Amino acid sequence: MKRLFWVVMSASLLVGCSSGTTQPQPQPQPQPQPSLNYPYNPPASNTVSSDPRVPYYGDWVWSVGFSDGTTFSGKMSISNKPADTATTRNFGGGPAEWCVSGFFNCPYTYKNLGIIGSVQSNTGTFLSASYIVNVNNLFIKFIAVDADGQISIEPKLNYAPSFIGVGQWYYDAGGSSNVVVIISQLNSNPEIKLQNKNFISTTFMSKNIIENPIGLNSLSTSVARDAAFKHMQQLLNQR
């Protein structure tokens, strides 16, 4: 193997030195690369973006508040940008978990998915977020719409960039509840950097996200909102 290596190297050097009269050819100049500065948290839009960055790139935690004051929490690590579809634009996604036992005992299993991005419907374009359990069966646990269509810097949440909106939580046995959903960004350097570009099914996104109720006509109670905010404050203070 060593001998073959040196033969190849010697041949290469000989080719390069075989003619003393050959003029060096001009080399193409490197082109400037587009900026990949983060964070990049675009507002709702129905325009296809040419930005090379992954939308919502980073680690996020979510808090779901119910009308009885109950809260659930979880996390998602966004590093993947699926292709746009007829009804979805500029999504970012990655592994997600429902942290039933707390964040310190909540490893990523790569079985569940979290996504944030723009969804088009007959009534407008919305910034939507979903947590999908089991990427093989694709069962939505929650889907929500941001109240003002953009990630906001929220003073009550340590000025963390945050998605704040209403939506639906779906039960395994059937039925759903109106909820308030808050998703806050911890950083712009995701814990999980996906290599598999097909982790997120754009076919699923196109078919299912827009067909599921997104809670715009379901005004969750102030109890749910207060519970979600309080729980998120606790989560951010733990990190």
Helices (H), the chain: 2-17, 202-204, 222-238
Count of C-beta atoms within a 10 Å radius of residue 166 = 23
Residue 88 has a pLDDT of 85
Instruction: Give me the half-sphere count of Cα atoms (radius 13 Å) on the Cβ side of residue 115.
Output: 32
Residue 199 has pLDDT above 50, yes or no: yes
What is the pLDDT, as a whole number, of residue 110?
Answer: 85
Give the per-residue pLDDT at 132: 87
Q: Does position 65 have pLDDT exceeding 70, yes or no?
A: yes
Residues 96-142 have pLDDT tens digits of 999 998 877 899 988 888 999 998 877 788 899 999 887 667 788 99
- pLDDT over 70, % of the chain: 73
Quickly count: other Cβ atoms within 10 Å of residue 103's Cβ.
14
pLDDT score at 218: 46
From 118, 79, 116, select the one nearest 95 (Cα to Cα): 79
How many C-beta atoms surround the C-beta of residue 101 within 10 A? 8
Angle 40-94-154 from CA coordinates, rounded to 5°: 45
The tokens of 78 are what?
Answer: 């966004």
Average confidence score pLDDT of the chain: 77
Name 176's bridge partners: 170
pLDDT score, position 178? 87
Q: How far is 138 from 150, CA to CA, in rounded Å?
A: 26
Residue 4 identity (one-letter amino acid): L
User: What is the model's pLDDT at position 221?
Assistant: 67
pLDDT band at 6 (very low <50, low <70, confident <90, very high): very low
Residues forming a β-bridge with 188:
none
Q: Residue 8 pLDDT > 90, yes or no? A: no
Model pLDDT, residue 29:
54
Query: Minimum mean pLDDT among 6-10, 17-21, 127-131, 207-211: which range?
Result: 6-10
* pLDDT 10s digits, 154-178: 999 999 999 999 888 989 898 888 8
Residue 92 has pLDDT above 70, yes or no: yes
Q: How far apart are CA 226 and CA 182, in angstroms?
A: 11
Q: How far is residue 186's CA from residue 206's CA, in Å, rounded to a whole number?
A: 28
